[in-house]
Each structure stands twice: as structure tokens, then as C-alpha cells.
Amino acid sequence: MTKSFALEAEQLGKAYRVYPRPLRRIGEWLSGGRYKGHHEFWALRGIDLALKPGASLGLCGANGAGKSTLLKVLSGTTAPSAGRYRVNGRVASLLELGAGFHLDFTGRANIVLNGVMMGFSRRELEKKTPEIIEFAELGAYIDEPVRTYSSGMGLRLGFAIAATVDPDVLIIDEVFAVGDMYFQKKCVDRIYQFKKRNKTIVFCSHSLYDVRQFCDQALWLERGEPRAIGDSVYVTNEYASYQRHHITAVEEAVRSQHPPVPESQRGRPADMPSILDARIYRLGTDEECYEVKSGDSLEIRVWWRNPRPALTPIQIGIVFMRGDMTLCGGQATHFQDVRLTGTSGCLVLKAPELGLLAGQFLIPAILFDDAGVHRYQEFMMPQNLHVRSHTREVGLFRLDLAFEQRELAPPAARAPVPAAPGP
């Protein structure tokens, strides 16, 4: 392969034709294109992409912003209406888990059927069938008709097939939103491995955290047009701050950054890691407190349990989030190389002379997998932290700022600065 890009797109666009009634279409045919009976709805416009092998691109944006449409065009299920794109290598797309299963056939037969649909050879699939079965953890069910599967089982099989065949470009549409916690974790691990092997990934997610963790680059779409593209941290921050300024979008931001942890732990093995409790104390004392002044010293204690540390190593992160979802700061064990060994323990985060200015802060403790990618659990403190300040400083943090007056002449005129390449 001498081609430098795995995936390229130039001014890619997609329009859907909308016919108010079927007769208009006939009119169009009969008039030989002179009469236009439809109007066009542009779901996507002006997308430029260039992804090298090994790159990963995350798509973010509100519902209906064109994320799924872009994935559909890139995976080849629908043709573009403007611009052009090309893919160097084999593509596997996971636009919907389990698309193309034949219900009357066994899981084993469906592996081959589904795989050859994606363009992989039967021989290749038969070789990989044991691996797929093992990943899907269907056991004896693999030889039962898919009709008898629960929706979760069908889903596991679908993901196992797409993840095990060996494409060069993997296109995934919001798959982490499904399945139980345990299987989600497996999916995340598999995609991580995939990335390590220098394969290209394009995926969309409502979880900005996922986009940030998985992707080097991100594309923010709004009403089908690119708002920002570039480094994933930069783009997701832009997107998050945009959302904050739009009251209607705020609710979505809350939901996407903090998907509700399911109340019932149904389907989750009892020996998965969990956070038992978390509270805030004055530093070095046992006095629990949630109303503090700027500059007070605090510590946050998190009690955790992990019955199988060898199998499911964990990391814990604690973040400070203002009421309007501004992420003010945070720390995690995987950032500081703290190892959480043993089957249970209490982790303490010390915050001497808290620099936060007045406000109300949410402080979730997040239980991660080893890589800090998958969230097992998000634990909210019993109360929000109220910080009062006695100075008139503005902003989020108290920075070390001080004034001084000097006798200096004004500087010489500056040469014009070239405009920074903006999004």
C-alpha cells in the first residue's frame, strides 16, 4: 500500500429527494428531467476528510446533525450527492448490530451469512468462527436458531462478527449505547486493540468522553455541515462550550456526558467492580462537610470493591463540575499511576487550599477500567459542594494574580499577525 490515506473525502454531501406524492415522480420521468417534482433535503454538505491509516475520527453533534448519514455514505450503503470520497482497504461497518440475520438459521450459519454479505470469504469466516463464538459468549446457543435469542445475544453475535473479520477501516454507529456493562467493556477493549493495529476507525457517539478517549480527531457536525474539525480534545471542548450556551442543548449535554447508570444491576455479574460510597471531609479530619469557603482544605474519600482485581483492574477518577456542566478540574488514578490493588479499599483525594471560587459543584467519582476508557460506574456524592468566596475575584478559580504600577513607555507598533487557521 503506497497510498497515504486510508480514507479521503472532498466536499462530500448527501441530499435526500422528497416527493410529496408518487405521481410527481412519474411526472419527472415523463418530462425527461425538465419538470422537477421533488425538493431536496441536504442531510450533509461540504465534508472534507483525510485520515491516515491508524487514525481515528469521532463524530459529534446533536441528533439529526448528519452523523449517521456521513457514516452511511462512507460505508457505501448510500451514494453521495455531491463531492467524492475514497477508501483504501476493506471496510466493515456496524451501522446496526445484527442487520441481516436470518432468524430461522442457527447462530453459526448466520456468522457465515453475515460475513459474506460484508464481502469476506467463506473460508476466512470459517477460520474465524471459533473466535467469533468465543467472543460472543453464546455457548450452546450458537447452534440454536437466532429466533430464540434474546436481543442482547443477537447484538453480541453481530458485534463479534464485525469486530473479528479483519477490515482496514471500521465504521461504527453508536454501538456503546447498547448491551450490558460487561459486554460494553468487551467491545471497548476490542476496538482499542483494533486501533493499536494501525487500523482506521470512524465512529459517532453522543458521549464526548468516548470521542475524546478513542479518537485523535473529531468532527463536529451541525445541520449537516462541519462546524469544527481537528484534534478531538479541541473539537469536543468547542462542542461542549457551544452546547452550554444553548439552553435547549444543555439537556442533551447532560445526558450525553452522563448517561444514566442503570438502577438495576441486572445482567451484571455480582463480582464486577463497584464504588460503595464516597464523601467529602475537611482535610485530615472526620468532619463531613459540603459547605466550604474558597481556600479551605478538603479530602474526598471513595470506598471501592473489586472482587477480581486480576481480571478487572480498575482506575478511579474524581471530577469537579460546575452546575452548568463546566468541567473545572479532575484527577484520576491512571493519570498519576496510582495502582488500586486488592479486592477493596478506600481511595483519598486530597485537595489542600481549594482554588475554586463561588459556585455549586457536582463531584462524581467514576470507576474506570484499566485503560480509563470504559466507565463501570459513576457515583455521585450525597450532596453538591457549595463554595463561598469572600473576595470579589471573578471566574472559576482563584489564580495567583496581583497588580503593580510602573513607569514604562508604550511599545513599538506590532507587525500584523497572520490569521490562525480556524475551523
Partner 1 sequence: MTLEEEPLLAPPMGAWITPRPARGLEVLQRLVGLPKLVSGHRDLVLTTLKRDLSARFQGTLLGWAWPILQPLLLFAIYYFIFTRFLGQRMPALPESQQAGMGVYMFCAMISWGALGESLGRGTSVIVDNGNLIKKLAFPSELLPLNVVLASLVMMLFGVAIFIAVCFTSVWPRPGLALAWIPLIVVLQGLFTYGIVLFLTTLHVFLRDTAQVVGMVTTVWMFLTPVFWVPELLSAGPGGASVEQHMGLIHANPAYHLVSAWRGALMGDVSLTLESGVLTPVSVAAIPGHLGVFALWALGAYVLGYAFFVHSQRRFADEV
- Residue 72 binds partner 1 (CB under 8 A): yes
- Residue 22 binds partner 1 (CB under 8 A): yes
Q: Which of 1, 310, 401, 419 binds partner 1 (CB under 8 A)?
A: 1
Q: Which is nearer to partner 1, 72 or 185 (CB)?
A: 72
- Residue 146 binds partner 1 (CB under 8 A): no
Q: Which of 302, 283, 410, 287 is nearest to 363 (CA)?
A: 302
Q: Hey, what's the cell of 260?
A: 444514566
- Residue 84 binds partner 1 (CB under 8 A): yes
Q: Which of 27, 54, 83, 307 binds partner 1 (CB under 8 A)?
A: 83
Q: Hey, what's the cell of 48?
A: 472534507
- Smallest distance from partner 1 to CB 127, Å: 13
The neighbouring-strand residues paired with 202 are: 57, 171
Site string for partner 1, 89-118 (x = CB under 8 A): xxx-x-xx--xx-x-xx---x--xx--xxx
The neighbouring-strand residues paired with 9 are: 49, 85
**Owner of C-alpha cell 479541541:** 234
SS3 144: coil
- Residue 128 binds partner 1 (CB under 8 A): no
- Smallest distance from partner 1 to CB 128, Å: 14
CB 349 within 8 A of CB 317: no
Q: Which of 45, 85, 207, 272 binds partner 1 (CB under 8 A)?
A: 85
Cα 139 to Cα 181: distance, rounded to the nearest angstrom: 19
- Smallest distance from partner 1 to CB 202, Å: 14
Q: Which of 4, 121, 198, 285 binds partner 1 (CB under 8 A)?
A: 121
Q: Which is nearer to partner 1, 72 or 195 (CB)?
A: 72
- Residue 337, φ and ψ in degrees, nearest 5: 55, 40
Q: Which is nearer to partner 1, 163 or 351 (CB)?
A: 163
Q: Please, what is the end-to-end C-alpha distance for the chain in angstroms?
A: 31
The neighbouring-strand residues paired with 397 are: 356
- Residue 151 binds partner 1 (CB under 8 A): no
Identify which range of 119-127, 180-188, 265-273, 361-369 contacts partner 1 by CB under 8 A.
Answer: 119-127
- Residue 76 binds partner 1 (CB under 8 A): yes
Identify which range of 77-85, 340-348, 385-393, 412-420 contacts partner 1 by CB under 8 A.
Answer: 77-85
- Residue 88 binds partner 1 (CB under 8 A): yes
Identify which range of 22-30, 264-272, 313-321, 373-381 contacts partner 1 by CB under 8 A.
Answer: 22-30
Cα 16 to Cα 140: distance, rounded to the nearest angstrom: 44
CB 166 within 8 A of CB 197: no
Element at 124 (helix H, strand E): helix 122-136
Element at 15 (helix H, strand E): strand 7-18
Residue 348, number of CB atoms within 10 A of its CB: 11
Spatial CB neighbours of 303, under 8 Å, sequence gap ≥ 6:
275, 276, 277, 278, 344, 345, 346
What residue ranges bind partner 1 (CB under 8 A)?
1, 3, 16-17, 22, 25-26, 72, 75-91, 93, 95-96, 99-100, 102, 104-105, 109, 112-113, 116-122
